[in-house]
Structure 1
Amino acid sequence: MISKKNLIDRFTGYVRIDTQSDSGSNETPSTKKQWDLARKLATELKEIGLEDVEIDDNAYIMASLPSNIAHEVPVIGFISHFDTSPDFTGTNVNPQIIEAYDGKDIVLNAEQDIILSPDYFEDLLQYKGQTIITTDGTTLLGADDKAGIAEIVSAMEYLVNNPHIPHGKIRVGFTPDEEIGRGAHKFDVEKFGADWAYTMDGSQVGELEFENFNAAGAVVTVKGKIVHPGYAKDKMVNSMYIAQDFINSLPRLETPEHTEDRQGFFHLTDINGDVEETVLKYIIRDHDKDHFEARKEVMKNMAVDINTQFGREVIKVEIKDQYFNMAEKIEPVMHIIDIAEEAMKAVNVTPIIKPIRGGTDGAQLSYKGLPCPNIFAGGHNFHGRYEYVPVESMQKAIAVIVKIAELTAEKYSAGYEKN
């Protein structure tokens, strides 16, 4: 397999390139700086020997590793995104390499007293003795999802250099703007031409996910009336108080900080207001489709009740669906999960099959006709200064990619007919 040094060099080279996306932009990619890594990746894919390397006008990258077997087998794909989250700065990322981690606190930044501690982040103790890549405490790392990209590129390079390993045609895809929910919006599934694919975008080693949230965004607009406070009796309507009533009427324990596993939530992400107008922004999440629809109705009905109290429309709720649970599209083709699970076990990785408390490009791609479950990339604590990734987890992910390709070729050794 690829050497640890080469993998570290590849990954750290990627994370040093700032690729934060911007939800306020209507362009694709949403930031011009994403092009810096996109162009580098397109060049690198050609250099390692892939064919049909293309980068389109929106920075979507596709490439092919041709089959090296005589019989036809399914075309499989591996996909990752190269943007990083706008939640925390990705400028001037300075990765730190911790060799043979000793299980103790890691000082990310002594000057600012920023500590990555297993007392708080217990998962760290799983990686005692391993090589861990961290931030310097002032930026995110970008393992979400540059670890996935490094793993896919490294796995393809390994297959090119080891032609004795049988595999069918493999397609590679890298996307912009996943972190702002648009990674699959302009992905050309037909052009990609895979029967199924895997996003390498999960967290800890072993994760294999084919369930995710149903997701919607809600904008709640409250209208008030501003008059001089000295003469406001029976005239002023303070929109912020009405907004507060709306917030307090939602179930307080059905929020991200009080839920886990398949439990859904309402999440207030933004408040901006004054007496005249207050705008609340929410995200709504639930794995269960019926519960998801019920959550949307709860918000709409609350608005109706408040408007009835005032005898006019003082509050408006606008809800837009964002993505849906891919389980509906994966369950009819569960053999693609079986192959990934078998591949993990073959390389001594224990599969952790669980629902994603979020979404991936794979969810949207599954609904566009490309079944696309999610596999671990190895990182932890995404989107912040405490992000880290064990190098050994990345090596395991590379091994899983290679083994999936090999198993797919073996399982269809008698030939393959498309439906």
Structure 2
Amino acid sequence: MTPKCQIVVVGGGAGGLELVRKLGARYGRRRHDIILVEKNRTHIWKPLLHEVAAGSLDANLDEVGYRSHCHRWGYRFFCGTFAGIDRSAREVIIAPLRDEDGSELIGEHRIRYDHLVLALGAVSNDFGTPGVARYALTLDDRASADRFRHKLLNHCLRVSRAMRADPAVDAYVRIVVVGGGATGVELAAELYNAAAALRHYGLEVFDESRLEVTLIEAGPRILPALPKQLADAARVELEALGVRILTDVRVVESTAHAIVTGTGERIEADLQVWAAGVRGAIPGDMDGLELGRSNQLVVRPTLQTSRDDRIFAIGDCCLFVPEGSDRPVPPRAQAAHQMASVVLDNLARAQKGKTLRPFVYRDHGSLVSLSRFSTVGSLMGNLIGGRMAIEGRLARFVYKSLYRMHVVAVHGWLKGIMLLAVGRVNAIIRPRLKLH
């Protein structure tokens, strides 16, 4: 009996989950064994994490359980932490699985592959800044977003109780967000949206006026991916909410209760969020695969890694520089989606001995949501030079459409549309905030 072709995908983010769904739908289990390796048990779309962190979104309603998803779409899910590759044996190395008390449940083991796709994503890059790893929070995954929300609610409760005990007390929740890209800007706006609703959920004397949010950007302006006029419009909106914005300011240290800038200013903070950059979430042992400056896997135009034809990389963990450009494809959900489609086709071509097709990135623009207050962005990207600037209701509609497209990509049209309809009902009947 001919052995099954074993395709292993490591990483269940936007690109990896879409890819295994389509592989399972195309091949099924008869002649192929499609395996997803992921350390988490559920998936949530990473661009939504700032809403999870602020409490505006209940991740339990939007997350995707890998075990039920794999049963529906014909692939296997293996819950484990990727530890490395043995290229000569064509095996993926999985770290031991441990219980909460540290006891070993499953020892280190290996999974064979005929073709391997690495979709490991990215994590925050603190650039070695002293104290950041210890004192600052990130929004890299569901767990980190939940951790921020719990700490935020605790500080809001502290301020509310202090003011209730003594109305003369002038107390605030001080939050410093480092990084003026989409994540930092969206979180800053979402915090004010959430704070405005807290008075309806037991914190009667707390509202958005009790927030002191500082947004620090090392570059000359926030939102460098957007046209200047849109970035300026976003800045005006944030400052109207009460956000203090510092540009051309570098963070040199994080301490237990403050951020220290290159100018010597010490900004007091109850919560610190680092959103200033990303690097590939690549473990130490990649068995000789080529890595770029930001710990990303270097890939060829076919999205095969530069030193191994059987290994592909997609999404934030790969470094792809389009021909004729000196800039790599940015770490965006749209790039992961496009890469997943190309690798799906190239895996089929590789099995048939056909020439693989090159990846061509199509920039459809950037959108940034300032919660319920505003949405700004540019559409079409490299198709018309990124000059189609949009704001307001149209931008908000397009922004929400990106999530709808993700849901359909992960679940298919029928179930995707049904889930979106259920989501609309939940938005009406569920509380505005998740407070636990």
Q: Say yes or no: TM over 0.5.
A: no
Bigger Rg, structure 1 or 2: 1
TM-score, reference length from structure 2: 0.30
Instruction: Determine which structure has greater relative contact order: mean sequence separation of CA pairs < 8 Å that are 6+ residues apart, divided by chain length.
Output: 1
TM-score, normalized by length of structure 1? 0.31
